[in-house]
Amino acid sequence: MIETDICIIGAGPVGLFAVFEAGLLKMRCHLVDYLPQVGGQLTEIYPKKPIYDIPGFPTVIAEDLVKNLMDQAKPFDPTFTLGERVERIEQRPDNTFILGTHLGTAIHAKVICIAGGLGCFEPRKPAIDNLTDYEKCGVEYMVLDPEKYRNKKIVIAGGGDSALDWTIFLANVAAELTLVHRGEIFRGAPDSVSKVKQLAEEGKIKLELNANVKSLYGSGKLERLAIVHNDGSAKEISADYYLALFGLSPKLGPIANWGLEIDKNAIDVNTRDYSTNIKGVYAIGDINNYEGKLKLILCGFHEAALMAHSASELILGKKPTLKYTTVNGVNSF
């Protein structure tokens, strides 16, 4: 059982900044995210995208903002459970909470802060009839442990940054690696595209363009798959793993079943402190809803500050004294 003051569901930019605000008030945070790394949309969808509305930064690259937020949170020693989705919450008689993930991790928290962005990101799955038959036995939608694929035959499908980045990385891990893309033009960073094409020219990977994976075969686990090209030609290749990296789509997921007041796939909150209808549960960032809501990172930062002060009062039973880092610095908190 993991023990913490605040369990933050969502390790995107707003969740990471909440660690800093909670840390100033002597509260410990544990963060849970279904993605295998911190940063939420900034890391998974547009890591190289410039962001222009962060105060004090005329422009900042998304992945750099995530790094800075991690550095800012580091003095307060947050802990993380990544690659897991919170499935259920249970309120105990003492008004604390037990949270359980889909992989069985249990977390005991005095307060819950939902900072899930647009919700739980779920993989976009290709239209293959027997796809689900091979999930967890060959078909996967994200890379959690690269070592799992060492000396294995891998087929990656996709044309964006995630497919390109993992092709480059796993080229030196897998025994054989094939990248399948439905077109000829990739959507990822030009530098990554160049590296993938160079790997193909050097014979380190196989590149199947204008093609799609259409069928999967195997007895109990994936053993081979069929690739069909746009001109109708087809081939079968051996594969231990099929990584369908077509991106993620946001859904509210299990949150919808926790008894929270929800409107238009967002959680209703009180703007005094961004509390929900369940005492001890807060919602900040894009996942909440209130009159005049703006889905901006900087608004989420403001919400995180007010949430932390309210959570401190709830946990300690008294209103915290507002202190300024400009006077005391961070190490004094």
Place of tokens 């025994």: 175
pLDDT at residue 332 is higher than 60: no
Q: Are 313 and 229 contained in the same domain?
A: no
Residue pointed to by tokens 């402190």: 273
Domain membership flag for residue 293: yes
Question: What pLDDT is recorded for position 16?
Answer: 98
Domain edge (last residue) among 190, 223, 246: 246
Q: What is the pLDDT of residue 127?
A: 92
Q: What is the mean pLDDT of residues 160-189?
A: 93
pLDDT for 31-62, tens place per residue? 999 888 899 878 876 677 778 889 999 989 88
Domain membership flag for residue 203: yes
Domain coverage including residue 143: 125-246
Query: C-alpha 4: how far from its chain's center?
Result: 21
Q: Are residues 118 and 135 in the same domain?
A: no
Tell which of 202, 227, 246 closes a domain.
Answer: 246
pLDDT of residue 250: 65
In this prediction, residue 45 carries a pLDDT of: 67
User: Both 130 and 116 in a single domain?
Assistant: no
Clarify whether residues 55 and 110 are in a common domain: yes
CA distance 25 to 313: 10
CATH number of the domain where residue 130 is located = 3.50.50.60
**Any domain includes 291:** yes
Whole-number pLDDT of residue 204: 96
**333 in a structural domain:** no
**Which pLDDT band, with edges at 50, 70 and 90, does 193 fall under?**
very high
pTM to 2 decimal places: 0.67
Does one domain contain both 240 and 277?
Answer: no
| Residue 146, domain member (yes or no) | yes
Same domain? 146 vs 72: no
Tens-digit pLDDT profile for residues 64-120: 999 999 999 999 999 999 989 899 999 999 999 999 999 999 999 999 999 987 666
Q: What is the model's pLDDT at position 51?
A: 84
- 262 and 286 assigned to the same domain: yes
Same domain, 102 and 180: no
41 domain residue, yes or no: yes
Residue 98 included in any domain: yes
* 114 and 160 share one domain: no
The upper half-sphere exposure of residue 203, i.e. CA atoms within 13 Å in the direction of its Cβ, equals 0
Which of 185, 214, 246 terminates a domain? The answer is 246
Residues 155 and 51 in one domain: no
- Taking a C-beta distance cutoff of 8 angstroms, is the pair 76, 95 a contact? no
- Is residue 323 included in any domain, yes or no? yes
Considering the domain architecture, whether residues 225 and 256 belong to the same structural domain is answered as no
- Checking if the pLDDT of 248 tops 90, the result is no
User: 137 and 195 in one domain?
Assistant: yes
Where do the DSSP E strands lie in 124-279? Answer: 139-140, 153-157, 176-180, 206-208, 211-217, 224-229, 234-238, 241-244, 248-251, 262-263, 266-268
What's the number of domains the chain is made of? 2
